[in-house]
Homo-oligomer: A and B are copies of this chain.
Amino acid sequence: MQCKPKSKQDKEQMERLAAAFKALSNETRLAVFENVRLCSAQSMKNKNNRPSVCNIASNIDISLSTISHHMKELRHAGLVKCTRQGQTIL
């Protein structure tokens, strides 16, 4: 009759899953993510320099501080990694 009650592990998984969904639930942030994704893929082929925050911001009409903030959230959700090199590289 009843549907599965969740174990503690399941619950943690759900939390992470919800967090990932949340990270992608904002249109701007999804756009940032898409930009990072596409640019990264492209730059791997070409050995080009990889997308910087600034770079991304120029594709999306929004302030740098906001982009930076969204990047942090994507990082926290584990959807994006980044390394530094003068210009932060994704």
* Interface residue A54 (Cβ < 8 Å from any Cβ of B): no
Interface residues of A in 13-66 (CB under 8 A from B): 14-15, 17-18, 21-22, 24-27, 30-31, 34-35, 38-39, 42, 48, 51, 59
Contacts of A82 in B (CB 8 A): none
How many A residues touch B, CB cutoff 8 Å? 26
Q: How far is the CA of A51 from the CA of B35 in the complex (A)?
A: 40
Are A21 and B24 in touch, CB under 8 angstroms?
Answer: yes
A25: chain B residues at CB < 8 Å are 18, 21-22, 24-25
Residues of chain A at the chain B interface (Cβ within 8 Å):
1-6, 14-15, 17-18, 21-22, 24-27, 30-31, 34-35, 38-39, 42, 48, 51, 59
Excluding A14-B31, A15-B27, 12 further A-B contacts by CB distance (< 8 Å) are: A1-B48, A3-B38, A3-B39, A6-B31, A14-B34, A17-B24, A18-B30, A21-B21, A21-B22, A21-B25, A21-B30, A22-B26
